[in-house]
Structure 1
Amino acid sequence: MKLDRFTTETDGPVRRYEYDDSSMLAVDFGPRHDASVDLVDGTVIVVDGDDQYELELPQGAGDAHTFIKNGVLTVEVEADQ
């Protein structure tokens, strides 16, 4: 996942976890109750009021699951089998 630009645009900490068959990214946006997340053509899009953040998933990534809860964005990407 391309994190360099994404992490400079957010204020909260970013953590990345690697597993044998998947990886997970957690980004703390803080207590933002109106933030939403969507996944469109391999791009994770977070909208928070007037702010928008985008994160491109790696080429060849398998299934991806995204959700945001209590201001923490979680992106789970399964390895392409």
Structure 2
Amino acid sequence: MTLEQFTRNEGQLTRQYEYDECSVLAVDFGADETDASVDLVDDTVIVIVDDEQYELELPDGADDAHTFIKNGVLTVEMEGDL
């Protein structure tokens, strides 16, 4: 699922920030979602919120990605030639 499909289909508030060295993607699932978890498998970010699973494909060129979720906000930090 691309970022555009993810936000349109699921209604999540999403922001993407571009910096010189990296790109950061933030997705707000809501502050009530404190039991959410995130995992990175190959080029796919997998988020589990309650009984729902969301998958988001990283863009081509994302060499090194780090993910975490805090207070219902998923953050994906990506390095590489995006």
Above 0.5 in TM-score?
yes
Checking the alignment, whether the CA contact within 8 Å between 2:6 and 2:12 is kept in structure 1 is no
Tell me the C-alpha RMSD between the 2 structures. 1.6
Normalised to the residue count of structure 2, the TM-score between the two structures is 0.87
Deviation (angstroms), 1:34 = 1.4
Query: Which structure features the higher share of strand residues?
Result: 2
Checking the alignment, whether the CA contact within 8 Å between 2:24 and 2:78 is kept in structure 1 is yes
* Aligned equivalents of 1:20, 1:50: Cα separation in 2: 37
Q: Which runs of 5+ in 1 are unaligned?
A: none
Alignment of structure 1 residues 41-56 onto 2, 5 Å: 41-56=42-57
Percentage of matched positions with identical amino acids: 67
Instruction: Give the partner amino acid of 2:54.
Output: Y
* Aligned equivalents of 2:13, 2:60: Cα separation in 1: 24
Moved more, 44-53 or 10-19: 10-19
Which runs of structure 1 show a deviation greater than 6 angstroms over 4 or more consecutive aligned residues? none
Q: Which runs of 5+ in 2 are unaligned?
A: none
Provide the secondary structure at the position in 2 that maps to 1:63: strand
Checking the alignment, whether the CA contact within 8 Å between 1:39 and 1:45 is kept in structure 2 is yes
Instruction: Show CA shifts across 1:22-48 (max 9, x none).
Output: 100011100202110000011000001
- Count of residue pairs brought into register by the alignment: 80
Normalised to the residue count of structure 1, the TM-score between the two structures is 0.88
